[in-house]
Amino acid sequence: MEIRIEKPDREALRALGVDGWETWECEPSVFDWSYDAPETCYILEGRARVRTPSGEVTFGPGDLVRFPEGLACTWTVVERVRKKYSFG
């Protein structure tokens, strides 16, 4: 299970409908998480690291991150994160 990170342009964000997605915010913290459905999120602010059994990824502002269904991981929010997200 692989986390994918992209750097979309404004047109790609518009095509995905990111402006209409829900917003999530989190202060610096560490927590375990698992995905019951695929999630796509766009990072507006902050930085986080996500550790999976196969490695670790880091992302920040401007990154579009795709998490697969069934992924179990540990989030480390390094700087307060604000993101737009969509499941499915």
Give the ranges where 6-66 is alpha helix by DSSP (H): 10-16
Supply the pLDDT for residue 12: 97
* pLDDT higher than 90, residue 1: no
Can you name the CATH fold of 4-87?
Jelly Rolls (2.60.120)
Q: What is the pLDDT of residues 4-48, one digit of tens each?
A: 999 999 999 999 999 999 999 999 999 999 999 999 999 999 999
- Encoded tokens for 70: 């069934």
Per-residue pLDDT tens digits for 66-77: 999 999 999 999
Residue 64 sits at φ, ψ, to 5 deg, of -100, 120
